[in-house]
């Protein structure tokens, strides 16, 4: 089942991320998709803030992965937009099977490498401030998370 919510501003998007963070578990996979400027990195900032991370969170466009290890649990923030097709050498499985949380921007680019169980979050721009955010859980753990935060 898909769930839709409306974010009317940055604070709404950050609040959603904070609510999902409160349900975190080791090995959690969150996949973010949407056009540029739709709120993907804002979501990561909210999640990171709730983990107790004080570092400045920016999109890791040229790094592919940024590791934040000083919070309640590790956060692995990926931006796979610039990956070439079939680039398997990034070590996704090591991150996906870790004790941290993986948040992947532009996850549709690596769909073949994603675990079956995960939470997909799709951002759609309505206007300058408003976003429709669709949550698509894959697996019981993720269904439970979505049901507890919506």
Q: Read off the pLDDT of each residue in 6-28 and give the average, rounded to a whole number.
A: 95
- Tell me the per-residue pLDDT of 51-73, one tens digit each, with 9 for 90 and over: 999 888 887 667 788 999 999 99
Question: 124-133: b or e for each residue (b if 16 or more CB lie within 10 Å)?
Answer: eeeeeeebeb
pLDDT of residue 88: 56
Q: Which CATH architecture has domain 13-149?
A: 3-Layer(aba) Sandwich (3.40)
Say which range, 31-45, 79-93, 108-122, has the weakest mean pLDDT: 79-93
With the CA atoms of 11, 14, 15 and 18 taken in that order, what torsion angle do they form, in degrees rounded to the nearest 10?
-160
C-alpha span between 143 and 141 (Å, rounded):
6
Q: Given a cut of 80, is residue 79 above it in pLDDT? A: yes
Mean pLDDT for 129-141 is 96
Residue 86 clears pLDDT 60, i.e. is over it: no
Q: Is the dihedral of CA 13, 101, 106, 118 positive or negative?
A: negative
Inter-CA distances, 29 with 20, 126, 134, Å: 12, 26, 16
Chain centroid, CA 126 distance in Å: 20
In the chain, the percentage of residues whose pLDDT exceeds 70 is 95
What are the percentages of helix, strand and coil residues in the chain, rounded to 5?
30, 25, 45
Q: How confident is the model at residue 24 (pLDDT cuts 50, 70, 90)?
A: very high
Beta bridge partners of 119: 30, 137
How does pLDDT run across 35-52, given as a tens digit for each residue?
999 999 999 999 999 999
> Under DSSP, is residue 63 helix (H, G, I), strand (E, B) or coil?
coil
The reported pLDDT for the residue numbered 85 is 56
Inter-CA distances, 90 with 32, 103, 118, Å? 18, 15, 19
Q: How far is it, in rounded angstroms, from Cα 131 to Cα 65?
A: 26
This model's pTM is above 0.75? yes
Q: What is the pLDDT of residue 2?
A: 85
Average pLDDT of the residues of the chain: 91
């Amino acid at each position: 089942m898909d769930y839709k919510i409306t974010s009317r501003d940055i604070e709404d998007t950050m609040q959603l991320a904070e609510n999902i963070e409160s349900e975190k578990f080791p090995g959690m996979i969150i996949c973010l998709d949407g056009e540029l400027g739709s709120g993907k990195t804002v979501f990561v900032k909210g999640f990171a803030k709730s983990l107790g991370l004080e570092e400045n969170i920016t999109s890791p466009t040229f790094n592919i992965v940024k590791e934040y290890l000083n919070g309640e649990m590790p956060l692995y923030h990926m931006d796979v937009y610039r990956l070439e097709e079939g680039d398997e050498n990034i070590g996704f499985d090591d991150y996906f099977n870790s004790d941290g949380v993986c948040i992947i921007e532009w996850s549709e680019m690596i769909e073949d490498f994603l675990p079956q169980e995960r939470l997909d979050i799709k951002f759609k721009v309505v206007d300058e401030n408003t976003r429709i955010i669709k949550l698509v859980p894959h697996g019981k753990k993720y269904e439970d998370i979505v049901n507890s935060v919506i």
